Amino acid sequence: MKGIVFTEFLDLVENKFGLEMVDEIINASNLESEGIYTSVGTYKFSEMLQLLQHLSANTGISIDDLLLVYAEHFFSVLEDSYSGLLATYKDPIEMISSIENHIHVEVRKIYPDAELPTFEVIEKTDNSLVMIYKSSRAMHHFGLGLMNKTFEHFNSKASIVLEKLKADGTEVKFLINKN
């Protein structure tokens, strides 16, 4: 997992819960990196999972809800760093449906060893989208948060229903309807 995901996560934890919480979740975890991350480094997903589990235990907030909030924070990083890429889209459905064939292609140019989820478009209209998310990491709520912020970015609203196709969350169907 790319370091930017860790550095931004810890920034969010510090901003929302304080530096003491950052220290707490790092110290409570068994991290190969010892909690020292660079945005361009690559780290094991198990480290992110430990940080999330300890943050959840300390705050009483579910991991899914933490991922949702984190994704909304991370979208602002994307807006700041990749505004040119976002500007190529005029509509949230268009942008979300292009995750696999455009956005992830661009991410791989910057981070060739990035391990990204897959998003398969099953059905697309001007106002709706059905996609299948697949990832061994089961971070579907991170995807949901990014989708929510995508609609907000385009001053639009949508109902997004998440349906687990596998109980462990490694395969999820997103049913997106633009309001």
pTM of this prediction?
0.91
Q: How confident is the model at residue 103 (pLDDT cuts 50, 70, 90)?
A: confident
Q: Are 25 and 13 in contact (CB under 8 A)?
A: yes
If you write DSSP's letter for every residue of 99-149 in order, what string do you get?
Answer: IIIIIHHHHHHH-TT----EEEEEEE-SSEEEEEEE-TT--HHHHHHHHHH
Q: What is the pLDDT of residue 66?
A: 97
pLDDT (tens digit, 9 = 90+) per residue, 122-172?
999 999 999 999 999 999 999 999 999 999 999 999 999 999 999 999 999
Q: Is 110 a residue whose pLDDT tops 90?
A: no
| Spatial distance between the Cα atoms of 178 and 126, rounded to a whole number of angstroms | 9
Supply 55's token pair. Answer: 């943050």
**Number of C-beta neighbours around residue 152 at 10 A:** 14
